[in-house]
Structure 1
Amino acid sequence: MKVMVQFAAVFNLDKCLGCHACSIACKNLWTNREGTEYMWWNNVETKPGPGYPNQWEDQDKWHGGWILTKDGKLKLAIGGRIARLLELFSNPYLPTIDDYYEPFTYTYSDLVKQDDGKQPVAKPISLISKKPIEIDKGPNWNDDLAGGTETILQDPNVKKLQDKIKTDFENAFMMYLPRICNHCLNPSCMAACPAGAIYKRVEDGIVLTDQQKCRGWRFCIAACPYKKVYYNWSTGKAEKCILCYPRIENGQPPACFQQCVGRIRYIGPVFYDADRVLWAVSAGDPKEIIDRHLEIILDPYDPDVVKNAKENGIDEDFIKTAQRTPVYKMMKVWRIALPLHPEYRTLPMVWYIPPLSPIVENMKISDEQIFPLVDQMRIPLEYLASLFTAGDVDRVKNVLKKLLALRIYQRYIRLHKNPPGWIFKETSLTEKDFEEMYKVLAIAKIEDRFVIPTAHKEKAIKMFEEEIAPEYGQGHRGMEIAAKKPRDLRLRA
């Protein structure tokens, strides 16, 4: 067992407002430069819908993430080194600007220069070519359009469930899905980079791009199944979410976390067993990956884990914050959070609490009747399972039961009644669990949601002295292979 630290996050989709405050906070801070106009390191998608970039979940088209070969070995879906070499100048799995949108502005000067007596009009022009363009899409162009057949049928998850999901207006449903880089335990973008420019920080697991090493090959963009790496057309470099690591090192949450109006975001360090990452992603059945993922996430209160963490140079404040953050409990103890598309085998460390939705066919029902009717909610369980559990409907159903049970429990408490025993039996949760869940999900203060240790000066000096970029194609194991090579890390993002 080798204990390592990873910052993990949980987004509670049951509370997301779709206000995009998180996106704007990130945009103003990090992607307000030339070449980054179309980059949304944080974006909020309306689901069902094609997402951003267009149909990013369709891995039959993009070949992102990892796959298992017939002999059980892990391989990048975009192919090995030779295959990528042949596609060096014509990559079929690389999104084009049309899959995003061509960034544009308007000729505002025309509004004051019009002198022929006609109504002045500001015309759209491309920020890339500086030529007039016709606007057919933009950022969040399908916002709140999940009920429309034009957008809902473009969702790759819906295509798999067309017999189950109807597009009639009365059967329409929608939810919001905020997305950032998942800072995976087994990032495919890192393994695909020929220059070794993408690396995973040993001290906190944040995945970054070394701009000095990046040569703009863009294999990282093709290999990332979440399409959260972008190409800066101005600088010729790849850029991505850096989890606001300068803020993290100062004990502050990322900007998108800080500005979240719905208070849906939680972040904190967790421990994981680095020696078992390959085992976790090598499950034959994709549905088993979540259980293996949870198994390698370690209990921060376990004396053996704490001892091993100290032996590996993990500071005491990281140990204390790992014990205090609610992220671990939401993921592994209460098991109400789920990863986004675990079948991509990258082990994402941004997890989601799926949203509840109305039971529309039965309005007058008792508490005891709610649990059997979970599968009749407006948002089909098969759709949520396609997003979060590789198709495991029962796992999604168990999470929704726990969220419903929490509401039932609190209703009885507010009415000064004893909660019924069946809610504990159905969910395998205790009264203490329900009390803690209520505090975390409903009334948690900022210091309870964001549990972040500050960086140490001596650690920063050590980071400059140690090589932490992986060897090409090695994935997570490359972090250890290249652990002793010196290099200059003056520019990290």
Structure 2
Amino acid sequence: MRVLAQIAMVMNLDKCIGCHTCSVTCKQTWTNRTGVEYAWFNNVETKPGVGYPRRYEDQEHWKGGWMLDRRGRLVLRSGSRTKRLLSLFANPDLPGIEDYYEPVTYDYDTLVSAPAGQDVPVARPRSVLTGEPTQITWGANWEDSLGGTPEHGAGDPNLRGGLAEKVRFEFEQTFLFHLPRLCEHCLNPACVSACPSGAMYKREEDGIVLVDQDRCRGWRMCVTACPYKKVYVNHATGKAEKCTFCFPRIEAGQPTVCSETCVGRLRYLGLVLYDADRVGEAAATTDERDLLEAQRGLFLDPDDPGVTAAARASGIPEDWIEAARRSPVRALISRHKVALPLHPEYRTLPMVWYVPPLSPVLDAVGEAGGDADDPDHVFAAVTRLRIPLDYLANLFTAGDTDAVAGVLMKLTALRSHMRRRSLGEPDDEALLKAVGLTAEDAEALHRLLAVAKYQDRYVVPAGHKEDAAALAGMENRCPVEVSGGRPEDGGHGKVMLGIPGLRRASGGRA
């Protein structure tokens, strides 16, 4: 067992109001400059919808993430190393600017320099890329609050299996929820393995995935390989750029900018410990529906004396181990099991998880003529919610509706329990027992999801300056190294699960 630490995030989607404050503050901090006008390291999508870039979830088209070959081996969907090298100068699996959107500015000079007259001057849009007049026909969240969904919503890749007919985009029948997205900082990042120049790397100390700008050659294989399409190319420098998880703030023990400025207080940041020796085994799980539990099985209990000893042997500081014990992310993922990963079927083992949205359950019970105090009626209503279970399952559990239903039932039981508490009614132990909760667990989960304070939502240990020299000496090699060649022995050994094509991680930073 080789214990490593990973900074992770969980978002409670019931709290997201789609205000885009996180996107704007991230934009002002990281991509408010020439070359990345179209790039949003953090964006908020409306679901159902085709997303940003357009239909990024259609991996049959974009070839992102991993898959199992005929022998059951984990391979990049974008092809072998030889195929990637042969297509360095003609990669066909890249989104175009039309799939993102053409960034625009406005001809503001017209407003101040137009001659006096009876007509009001108009500032017309101009392309930032060409400087020519253009029309605004797409955007990073064109379907904001279902604005463009009647026209484009049927193109959502998650509406497969007959869901497109089931979901009607009519005001009185449709549903929506907001989905904030950023780089997943995966345990098994496809972008790192696909990079021919070794510019993409995963930091050993905290698991953050970064790009070494000095080594990047702009081959763009990382863009293709990332199934979430969260790697962008700076058209001014020709270099790849991506979300850095605000690593300067993380190193100082502060939350990311998107978390700090979140109006709905829906984000949680914390540390988890995981067994790096079993990452390859978990990612190669045969049945896609078992990937959720396979990844959960990687996370270790910091209260276990054996895990603590192994963490110390791996050089993890004591305050980091203590932070892992207090981590809200670990509580939501492993203890209460109400957080789910985004598209586990991509086999990248993402580390940004989500508490799925819960439609108004009591309304569904009433519409069906049920009793809101009867657990059987309440749980049965979960299968008739406005947000179809199949849709949420396609997003978060590789199509496993039972896993999603289990989470929603737990959240439903929690709401009913707290409702009874607020009304002064006795606890319904049968209701909690049916979903595997005790009264103490329910209270802890309620405090975490509903009323958690700043220091409870963000448990981020500061970096250790005394480790900087040692980490530099190790050249920040990829943390999930196995046999097949060590960077210090051969310079370009196979690391990261021994998957062909992954080069040595760079010692530079973003």
What is the aligned partner in structure 2 of residue 48 from structure 1?
A: 48
What is the aligned partner in structure 1 of residue 126 from structure 2?
A: 125
1:107-256 mapped onto 2 (5 Å cutoff): 107-115=107-115, 117=117, 118-145=119-146, 148-160=149-161, 161-256=163-258
Q: Distance in 1 between matches of 2:308 and 2:188?
A: 23
Q: Does 1:283 pair with 2:303?
A: no
- What letter matches 2:229 in structure 1? K
Per-residue deviation at 1:488? 5.3
Q: Distance in 2 between matches of 1:249 and 1:319?
A: 16
What is the aligned partner in structure 2 of residue 32 from structure 1?
A: 32
What is the aligned partner in structure 1 of residue 83 from structure 2?
A: 83
What is the aligned partner in structure 1 of residue 389 from structure 2?
A: 381
Give a deviation string over 1:15-61, Cα, whole Å, max 9, x none: 11111111011011111010111111000000000111101111111
3-state secondary structure, aligned to 1:132: coil
Indicate how the Cα distance of structure 1 residues 156 and 146 shifts in structure 2: closer, same or farther if over 3 A, else same: farther
1:447 to 444, 447, 455: 455
3-state secondary structure, aligned to 1:404: helix
Contact 1:336 1:353 in 2 (8 A): yes
Per-residue deviation at 1:371? 0.8
What is the aligned partner in structure 2 of residue 413 from structure 1?
A: 421
What is the aligned partner in structure 2 of residue 92 from structure 1?
A: 92
What is the aligned partner in structure 2 of residue 456 from structure 1?
A: 464
What is the aligned partner in structure 2 of residue 303 from structure 1?
A: 305
3-state secondary structure, aligned to 2:151: helix
Q: Distance in 1 between matches of 2:325 and 2:399?
A: 32
What is the aligned partner in structure 1 of residue 372 from structure 2?
A: 366
3-state secondary structure, aligned to 2:241: strand
Contact 2:194 2:502 in 1 (8 A): no
Contact 2:216 2:239 in 1 (8 A): yes
What is the aligned partner in structure 2 of residue 435 from structure 1?
A: 443
Aligned residues with identical type, % of pairs: 51
Q: Distance in 2 between matches of 1:286 and 1:487?
A: 32
Q: Distance in 2 between matches of 1:35 and 1:194?
A: 22
Indicate how the Cα distance of structure 1 residues 7 and 478 shifts in structure 2: closer, same or farther if over 3 A, else same: farther
Indicate how the Cα distance of structure 1 residues 486 and 444 shifts in structure 2: closer, same or farther if over 3 A, else same: closer
Q: Distance in 1 between matches of 2:506 and 2:451?
A: 46
Per-residue deviation at 1:482? 10
Q: Distance in 1 between matches of 2:48 and 2:502?
A: 42
Indicate how the Cα distance of structure 1 residues 153 and 38 shifts in structure 2: closer, same or farther if over 3 A, else same: same
Per-residue deviation at 1:419? 1.1
Q: Distance in 2 between matches of 1:238 and 1:487?
A: 15
Q: Distance in 1 between matches of 2:148 and 2:20?
A: 20
What is the aligned partner in structure 2 of residue 349 from structure 1?
A: 351
Per-residue deviation at 1:114? 1.6
3-state secondary structure, aligned to 1:158: coil
Per-residue deviation at 1:340? 0.2
1:340 to 318, 342, 346: 342
Per-residue deviation at 1:325? 1.1
TM-score (norm 1): 0.95
| Structure 2 portions without partners, runs of 5+ | 479-486
Give a deviation string over 1:290-309, Cα, whole Å, max 9, x none: 11101111111111000000
3-state secondary structure, aligned to 1:297: coil
Per-residue deviation at 1:462? 2.3
Give a deviation string over 1:178-200, Cα, whole Å, max 9, x none: 00101000000000000000100
Q: Does 1:23 pair with 2:23?
A: yes
What is the aligned partner in structure 1 of residue 481 from structure 2?
A: none
| Structure 1 portions without partners, runs of 5+ | none
Q: How many residues align?
A: 489
Per-residue deviation at 1:116? 6.8
Contact 1:146 1:172 in 2 (8 A): no
Indicate how the Cα distance of structure 1 residues 486 and 461 shifts in structure 2: closer, same or farther if over 3 A, else same: farther
Contact 1:321 1:453 in 2 (8 A): yes
Indicate how the Cα distance of structure 1 residues 63 and 227 shifts in structure 2: closer, same or farther if over 3 A, else same: same
Indicate how the Cα distance of structure 1 residues 474 and 67 shifts in structure 2: closer, same or farther if over 3 A, else same: farther
Aligned residues: CA RMSD: 2.0
Q: Distance in 2 between matches of 1:320 and 1:39?
A: 36
Q: Distance in 2 between matches of 1:486 and 1:144?
A: 41
Contact 1:465 1:487 in 2 (8 A): no
Contact 2:199 2:212 in 1 (8 A): yes
Contact 2:364 2:381 in 1 (8 A): no
3-state secondary structure, aligned to 2:8: strand
Structure 1, 167-176 or 389-398: larger mean CA deviation = 167-176
Q: Distance in 1 between matches of 2:506 and 2:416?
A: 56
- What letter matches 1:188 in structure 2? A
Q: Distance in 1 between matches of 2:339 and 2:139?
A: 31
Per-residue deviation at 1:366? 1.9
- What letter matches 2:100 in structure 1? Y
Q: Distance in 1 between matches of 2:344 and 2:115?
A: 60
What is the aligned partner in structure 2 of residue 476 from structure 1?
A: 496
Q: Distance in 1 between matches of 2:295 and 2:211?
A: 25
Indicate how the Cα distance of structure 1 residues 475 and 126 shifts in structure 2: closer, same or farther if over 3 A, else same: farther
Per-residue deviation at 1:111? 1.2
Contact 2:494 2:502 in 1 (8 A): no
What is the aligned partner in structure 2 of residue 74 from structure 1?
A: 74
Q: Distance in 1 between matches of 2:474 and 2:235?
A: 31
Contact 2:142 2:148 in 1 (8 A): no
Per-residue deviation at 1:433? 0.5
Q: Distance in 1 between matches of 2:280 and 2:220?
A: 25
- What letter matches 1:428 in structure 2? G
Q: Distance in 2 between matches of 1:277 and 1:66?
A: 13
Q: Distance in 2 between matches of 1:291 and 1:203?
A: 25
